[in-house]
Chains A and B, each alone.
Chain A
Amino acid sequence: DQQVKQNSPSLSVQEGRISILNCDYTNSMFDYFLWYKKYPAEGPTFLISISSIKDKNEDGRFTVFLNKSAKHLSLHIVPSQPGDSAVYFCAASKGSGNTGKLIFGQGTTLQVKP
């Protein structure tokens, strides 16, 4: 049973436009959410996170939105750049984000076209 789902395997956007990556979860006990970015032949790297006590967290061009009632989060990248082309994973955890146990989604491959 996939507790964290990224239903779009891929997304293609033009440089300068907004990229929106979506993630849904089923377990209401999740209270901390993270996005990771992965380039080919490298390990995932942490991008941004959000606690369930917030509904938005922003870091430069990256913003994560959390809708707890819908069990949905999204990552917005504005403006998108070709270097943002990568696989993006969302992840969730319980216990205020200090359990060390992350549940990952399947990943979405983002392609930003020049």
Chain B
Amino acid sequence: DADVTQTPRNRITKTGKRIMLECSQTKGHDRMYWYRQDPGLGLRLIYYSFDVKDINKGEISDGYSVSRQAQAKFSLSLESAIPNQTALYFCATSDRGGIADTQYFGPGTRLTVL
């Protein structure tokens, strides 16, 4: 079984809709991250969480919110989706006590906003 899972894997939605992307991990890691990948821009950090009570904005947090429901679960929400949020979204985890900054990624969620 995959250590980092993301649901859904694909989602098509309409402008203005609220949508939630979910991430779960069985690695026991403290830290979790949300990135988006756009062609020609690489991966950009949206939000990150170093433990359940620690949530931080990343490089491009506008239009997004997150919830760390438990050590193993980290959700990303788009309150009112817009077309330029169409992208590939990745969740990742890392271990504070492990190999420095090595992050483990989920398989991604392809989101299309019409």
Contacts and interface: CB of A to CB of B under 8 A. Distances in A.
B interface residue count range (under 10 / 10 to 19 / 20 to 34 / 35 or more): 20 to 34
Given A6-B42, A102-B103, A105-B42, 12 more contacts: A4-B42, A43-B4, A43-B92, A43-B106, A49-B99, A49-B100, A89-B43, A99-B101, A100-B33, A100-B96, A102-B101, A106-B41
Contacts of B100: 32, 49, 96-98
A105 B44 CA distance: 9
A interface residue count range (under 10 / 10 to 19 / 20 to 34 / 35 or more): 20 to 34
Interface of A: 4, 6, 9, 32, 34, 36, 41-46, 49, 89, 93, 96-102, 104-107
Contact of B101 (A32, A45, A105): A32
A98 B103 CA distance: 11
Interface in B77-114: 90, 92, 94, 96, 99-108
Contacts of A106: 40-42
Interface of B: 4, 31, 33, 35, 40-45, 48, 50, 58, 90, 92, 94, 96, 99-108
Contacts of B99: 49
12 contacts: A9-B40, A32-B101, A41-B108, A45-B105, A96-B100, A97-B100, A98-B101, A99-B101, A100-B48, A100-B96, A100-B101, A106-B42
